[in-house]
Amino acid sequence: MRRLCLILALIALLFAVVQPPAHAQGEKIRLGYLPVITYATFFVGVERGYFAEEGLEIELIPLPAGGGDSIVQLAAGNLDIAATGAGATFWNALALGLPVKIVAPLHTERPPLATPLVISAKRVDEIKSVADLRGKRIAINNVGSAVEYWVYSALKRANISMDEVTIVTMPFPQMAAALDAEAIDAAVITEPLATLGRDQGLLAFLSDDFVDGITVTYVFAGENMLKERRAAAEAFMRAYLRAARDLQGEIDESLAKIIEKYTNVPAPVVQRMNRQYYDPNGVIPIADLEEVQRYFKSRGLLEYTELLDVPALVDTSLVDAALEVLGEYKPEPAATPAN
């Protein structure tokens, strides 16, 4: 009898029907974004129909410049999913205990960086390396932003502390003119403005390799998405990772045109500029989050005393569920040259 029960159990296991992933059945997701290339996964997912195939209707909602209040908007129920950089505002919002979780990475920086350190093209004979910036004025978009961490990283390589330079804040689009007028000595500027400024003869790249592989922007979901709207959240993540996988390797013309539609950056510029990277398996790097939190703590920009427990702020369950359906992404091996 025991053997018979075992055989019947094995037969049942062999003929078990694997249920397909639950689709969202026409649910709307309010997706907060900025019209910049960092959010390319959102744009590609919409334009290539990946969200629609999952039964999702995406409502793209523009965020205020910088996107720093997106976590508050999520917690207030005005957005369902959003993304932002892990700057000081990000950490101070999470410290309030708002009901949101980090559910995926947005983009990663690798050399050649999409946020290079640049100088005026007229001063290349004067400022030849990062070491020449001691005592100089360096522009960033905002104090406490992820871009401030880039400056710190670049200066650290040249054994210069943040206290040995003067940080100036201004919008990215104003930096090229300020450099040309010598109102500032250097700037960390985002693409495509860096490439456009170089094309115009205003900028020269001083360094675009001062960080390698660090992730400072992330995707968030509110508690409502993670619990009450679980099927929609899982459907979103499947579509999101499909878009991230399309963005591996070189940006082809069709992808560049999608990015142009949402950012107004000409497709040929998109294909030439330093690019950003999108993790095709949605890995959330805890160590990167901990590193940037420690940095902003050291600068006195956090409004709390004890460092937050980063793993407690992260929910990997949506990515895990998506990978069960999509499988792990593995890059194709490089072709072996013919003898």
Any idea what the CATH number is for the domain that residue 321 is in?
3.40.190.10
Q: Which pLDDT score is estimated for 338?
A: 56
Residue 223 and residue 89 share a domain:
yes
Whether residue 276 lies inside any domain: the answer is yes
Q: What per-residue confidence (pLDDT) applies to 63? A: 86
Residue-number span of the structural domain to which 45 is assigned: 27-108+213-326
138 and 222 part of one domain: no
**Predicted pLDDT at 17:** 38
Helices (H), 127-229: 146-157, 175-180, 193-199, 223-226
The model carries a pTM of: 0.88
Q: Do 231 and 156 sit in the same domain of this protein? A: no
Does 172 lie in the same domain as 304? no
Q: What is the pLDDT of residue 12?
A: 39
pLDDT score for 19: 44
| pLDDT tens for each residue of 133-179 | 999 999 999 999 889 999 999 999 999 999 999 999 999 999 999 99
User: Looking at residue 319, what is its pLDDT?
Assistant: 98
* Residues of the chain with confidence (pLDDT) below 70: 1-25, 65-68, 333-339
Do 309 and 185 share a structural domain? no
- What pLDDT sits at residue 64? 78
pLDDT at position 65 is 66
Decide if 279 is inside a domain: yes
The number of distinct structural domains making up the chain is 2
Asked if residue 18 is part of any domain, the answer here is no
Give me the helices (H) in 68-166, please: 70-75, 88-94, 146-157
Residue 225 sits in the same domain as residue 76: yes
Q: Indicate whether 90 and 40 sit together in one domain.
A: yes
* Domain final position from 207, 222, 253: 207
313 and 231 belong to one structural domain:
yes
The predicted pLDDT at position 24 comes to 58
Same domain, yes or no: 225 and 164: no
- Domain-located, residue 250: yes
Are 134 and 103 in the same domain? no
| Domain final residue pick, 145, 176, 207 | 207
- The residue among 186, 207, 228 that closes a domain is 207
Query: If we measure between CA atoms, which residue out of 79, 72, 102, 73 comes closest to residue 31?
Result: 79
Give yes or no for a contact between 281 and 328, defined as CB atoms under 8 angstroms apart. Answer: yes
Verify that 136 and 161 share a domain, yes or no. Answer: yes
Same domain, 288 and 302: yes
Q: 53 lies in a domain?
A: yes
Integer angstrom CA distances of residue 52 from 43, 58, 77: 13, 8, 22
* Helix ranges restricted to H, 137-252: 146-157, 175-180, 193-199, 223-226, 230-246
